Chains A and B, each alone.
Chain A
Amino acid sequence: MTTRAGADAPLHGLDKVATKAQATKFIPGQPDMWAFVLFETLIFTSYFVVYLLFRTQHREPYLQAQADLDLRVGIFNTIALLLSSWAVARCVQAARNGAYRSALTNAFLTILFGFVFFVSKVLEWVKEIRMGNGFTTNEFFQHYFFLTSIHCLHLLIGFIVMGVVVYQLWHPKRRSQELVETGATYWHTVDFLWVLIFALLYVVR
């Protein structure tokens, strides 16, 4: 979690204690969004537990089906989303410093990298379906299509959220730092969930 006091110059005595207390209390964006992050994480954890339990029971068929997934595509997806998260973090930092032009550029970069992820994911789905791996083909691909599509739905909602961020940054009369950080928190959640999905579907063999 980011702390505003983190970048401050070294302090001594009581000031330091007070700043530390402030720093530990600071939550980026609306604290309510963190409740969403927690709840979504719990729901996704339950999906992951179900996947892992079934995988443990039918290890061989899962491994065979998994061999059809291209790890390089997964890595490309992950890099695209990590870049988008990096851009949204720079957007927040720029908005905090009042550099709204730079913040807007980074918000658009976030959307661009998110879109690259989305297109590559759709192309991967098409490729898998052409290879004969559909949603009903086997258990592994049931989980694959389910987890990747529910995650993609979160990504599409993320585009709306980033639209709100751009709307906030666009006009000097708005520019709510809280909403910008709330949007960034949501976007990081999309990224964070993808990293877990990537690890479970592509990497764990």
Chain B
Amino acid sequence: MSAASAEALAPLEQPPGSLISRFIWHCRNNPKRELWFAWGTTVVFYNFFTISFFVLSRTQPPANPALDAQGAAHWFEKNHYGILLGFAIMFLVTGMTAPQNALIAYSMRRMSISPTFGYSYLVLYSLSAVPGMLLLCIVLTVGAMRPERDPQIQQWLFDLGFLSYVGTMGVFLIGSIVWMLAILIDKNRVFPKWFGYLNLCNALTEVVVSPAWIFHSGVFAWNGVIAWWIDMVVFGIYTGVFLTLLRNMIRREDFGTGVLPDLPPKQTLETPQLAKAAS
């Protein structure tokens, strides 16, 4: 272990004080501040994502793909302000996915594996955001901009928006498999192996979405029970799990190169250890 990592391991003696003063102290002194920033940004991003997609724009759960041209035009009229406001937020915060991808790539760089895994993941997920999220936001905002437009064109935008979002989930598949392989062959125990297998479960559910390109209704349509609802539940669990495991990884990080140490057991935590764990 290098001198720098030994120094980083030294327990932090944070001064007593208000929450704000302690926060500022950590921003100045905590050696893991960049990692915590990336993790916090990820959590904030998912909150914005949920509000924009589920509450404001009503694009999740997706609208009915069986709607005809009039129905699609009416959908744009009904959700006009929600789409504009919800996606205005998304345009502002989409960049927050960059620290998230960087943190996940960092987790792979901390493993005992080739850096190509981290780099592949970073490039894959950076590109995936374009068809996987941004295109929907742009296309549906275009639809909401002129609600009086020809209903045929509105339906075209409606189809393009939802299919680009739900139908292209496969673009995330290879990223999940890269992460899975990295975890399974890693010897530094950065993540538990079961999370590697959970990546496979997540990747397999992303395959299930592909029939959304064929069906206008039923369980395999883009709002179907199998193509969307079950996948969304799996993705929700997967996201909750990886956020928790990334948090644990930061807490365990020693800035070394070998096996990532375990967290000390909760019952035997002494004050200096608590400070160390918090750092």
Please tell me if the beta carbons of B197 and A35 are within 8 angstroms of each other in the complex.
yes
* Known A50-B226, A142-B220, A146-B226: A35·B211 in contact at CB below 8 Å: no
- Per-residue interface assignment for chain B, residues 40 to 52, with 1 indicating a CB less than 8 Å from any chain A CB and 0 otherwise: 0000000000000
* Known A136-B214, A150-B204, A153-B204: A46·B198 in contact at CB below 8 Å: no
Residues in A neighbouring B218, C-beta threshold 8 A:
139, 142
Nearest neighbor of B183 in chain A, beta-carbon distance: A32
Residues in B neighbouring A33, C-beta threshold 8 A:
193-194, 197
Kindly state whether residue B98 has any CB partner on chain A within 8 Å. no
Please tell me if the beta carbons of B194 and A35 are within 8 angstroms of each other in the complex.
yes
A6 CA to B230 CA, complexed, in Å: 39
A: interface residue count bin: 20 to 34
A98 CA to B219 CA, complexed, in Å: 49
How many A-B pairs fall under 8 Å by CB? 57
Which residues of A (12-55) have their CB < 8 Å from a CB of B?
A: 30-33, 35-36, 39-40, 43, 46-47, 50, 54
Residues in B neighbouring A192, C-beta threshold 8 A:
none
Which residues of B (77-135) have their CB < 8 Å from a CB of A?
A: none
Nearest neighbor of B237 in chain A, beta-carbon distance: A39
* Known A39-B198, A139-B218: A46·B204 in contact at CB below 8 Å: no
Please tell me if the beta carbons of A150 and B207 are within 8 angstroms of each other in the complex.
yes
Kindly state whether residue A198 has any CB partner on chain B within 8 Å. no
Kindly state whether residue B196 has any CB partner on chain A within 8 Å. yes
Please tell me if the beta carbons of A135 and B225 are within 8 angstroms of each other in the complex.
no
Please tell me if the beta carbons of B208 and A150 are within 8 angstroms of each other in the complex.
yes
Kindly state whether residue B258 has any CB partner on chain A within 8 Å. no
A139 CA to B215 CA, complexed, in Å: 11
Kindly state whether residue B205 has any CB partner on chain A within 8 Å. yes
Nearest neighbor of A50 in chain B, beta-carbon distance: B225
- From A142, A153, A157, name the one whose CB has the most chain B CB atoms within 10 angstroms: A142
A134 CA to B255 CA, complexed, in Å: 56
Interchain CB contact (< 8 A) of B205 among A30, A43, A50, A154 = A43
Please tell me if the beta carbons of A43 and B234 are within 8 angstroms of each other in the complex.
yes
Please tell me if the beta carbons of B208 and A36 are within 8 angstroms of each other in the complex.
no
Please tell me if the beta carbons of A135 and B207 are within 8 angstroms of each other in the complex.
no
- Per-residue interface assignment for chain A, residues 149 to 187, with 1 indicating a CB less than 8 Å from any chain B CB and 0 otherwise: 010011001000000000000000000000000000000
Residues in B neighbouring A135, C-beta threshold 8 A:
211, 214
Please tell me if the beta carbons of B220 and A36 are within 8 angstroms of each other in the complex.
no
Residues in A neighbouring B201, C-beta threshold 8 A:
36, 39-40, 43
- From B194, B196, B205, B218, name the one whose CB has the most chain A CB atoms within 10 angstroms: B194
A54 CA to B224 CA, complexed, in Å: 13
Please tell me if the beta carbons of B226 and A47 are within 8 angstroms of each other in the complex.
yes
Nearest neighbor of A33 in chain B, beta-carbon distance: B197
Please tell me if the beta carbons of B219 and A50 are within 8 angstroms of each other in the complex.
yes
Residues in B neighbouring A40, C-beta threshold 8 A:
201, 204
A146 CA to B220 CA, complexed, in Å: 9
Min Cβ gap B187→A in Å is 13
A30 CA to B230 CA, complexed, in Å: 27
Min Cβ gap B230→A in Å is 5
Residues in A neighbouring B198, C-beta threshold 8 A:
35-36, 39
Residues in B neighbouring A47, C-beta threshold 8 A:
226, 230
A125 CA to B204 CA, complexed, in Å: 21
Interchain CB contact (< 8 A) of A36 among B200, B205, B230 = B200
Please tell me if the beta carbons of B220 and A32 are within 8 angstroms of each other in the complex.
no
- For the complex of A and B, list the 7 residue pairs with the smallest distance between their C-beta atoms, beginning with the closest: A36-B197, A32-B194, A32-B193, A35-B194, A39-B201, A50-B225, A46-B230
Q: 5 A-B pairs, CB-CB below 8 angstroms?
A: A32-B194, A39-B201, A47-B230, A50-B225, A135-B211
Contacts A50-B230, A146-B226, A154-B204 known; list 12 others, CB within 8 Å. Answer: A32-B197, A33-B194, A35-B194, A36-B194, A36-B198, A43-B204, A43-B230, A46-B230, A135-B214, A142-B215, A142-B220, A146-B211
